[in-house]
Amino acid sequence: MRVLVTGSSGLIGSEAVTFFDNMGFEVSGVDNNMRATFFGPKGDTLDNLARLEAQCKNFTSYNQDIRDRKGVEELFKKINPELIIHAAAQPSHDLAATMPFEDFDVNAVGTLNLLEATRRQCPEAVFIHVSTNKVYGDAPNFLNLVEKETRWDYADKEYEHGISEEMSIDQCKHSLFGASKAAGDILAQEYGKYDGIELKTGIFRGGCLTGPQHAGVELHGFLNYLVKVALEEGPYTIFGYKGKQVRDQIHCHDVINAFWNFAQNPRPGEVYNLGGGKGNAASLTECVSMIEERTGKKPNLTYSDTNRIGDHICYYSDLRKLKEHYPNWDLTYSLDRIVDEMIEVVSNLAKS
């Protein structure tokens, strides 16, 4: 099988490259290291690219900008992919407000370029769009919540399993990032469902996607960045909600395995929430405690009363629809395992 991965040097993209290379597939990666433009030297992914080129036998990298419509179509014509994993994105709320054109051109227009190239060059291919739970905007913040000692949680039984795909993405505040990702999300749905197009698109709205190869920075890559700062006992600012805001962590391996399950039996235009679910949900404060219990170290915390625009007070994914449609898929990484692995990798990098 010929696989094309956008954002191939990032967290999800690099895991996809490794996953499918290990299966013996021919893998093409698209990445122009724009994360370094967004986040500076700490966001640079060239080391990740070098690792992939050294370890993977069937991998070819292309320095292609997905905003370049003609270049994208020519690349699709050359590769003729059978599976596309679209993981390239501008991923930060805060940055989107300072560079709105770049944000929209990457997240919305870039997605359109890829979908249209698929339609014209390889319409039988499976197209997996890596979306985000931020398409729900701040709507989850208006659910009935209960404040507990170390976290917020849902008060109503309706949400005991988390947020489902039934939640509206309308009439709420998204941030410009949430809006651009929502545009790409809806485009991918339409290319799957619209009469006369009907590509094999799958849309996955990620929670906190994480893993040891994440180039975590303050504005994106929460858990990886938190571990790095904790081990250095460096400064870390908590933005709002008393540090009790809840996220569900999912390891990148489990993310790609979900994509592979979909690719083998695609449901065109279908949407799935994809995170760690209730079992892998923890607050920022609880994550700090988990790291301290294992290492004896924690970040030098300061607190800001101002929360980030569009930030969720409590969010974890209801995974029941995904598990119903793909019963062979399940989480293999617990939150404990994720944290342990990340501490080990970050510690080893610090020593090298």
Half-sphere exposure of 319 (CA within 13 A, CB side): 23
Which amino acid type is present at position 135?
V
Q: Which two tokens stand for residue 257?
A: 């395995």
Total tally of structural domains belonging to the chain? 1
Report in angstroms the alpha-carbon separations of 108 from 43, 163, 206, 239, 309.
Answer: 21, 24, 17, 28, 20
CB 5 within 8 A of CB 85: yes
pLDDT number for residue 147: 97
What confidence tens digit (pLDDT) does each residue in 95-135 have? 899 999 999 999 999 999 999 999 999 999 999 999 999 99
Instruction: Note down the domain range covering 67.
Output: 2-351
Output the domain CATH number for residue 77.
3.40.50.720
Q: Could you tell me the mean pLDDT of each successive run of 10 residues in the chain, 352 residues long?
A: 97 96 98 85 85 96 98 98 97 88 97 98 98 96 97 97 97 93 98 96 95 64 86 93 95 98 98 98 96 96 85 96 98 97 86 72
- CA 299 distance to own-chain centroid: 24
Q: Give pTM, 2 decimals.
A: 0.95
Tokens representing 124 are 């039988």
- pLDDT for 225: 87
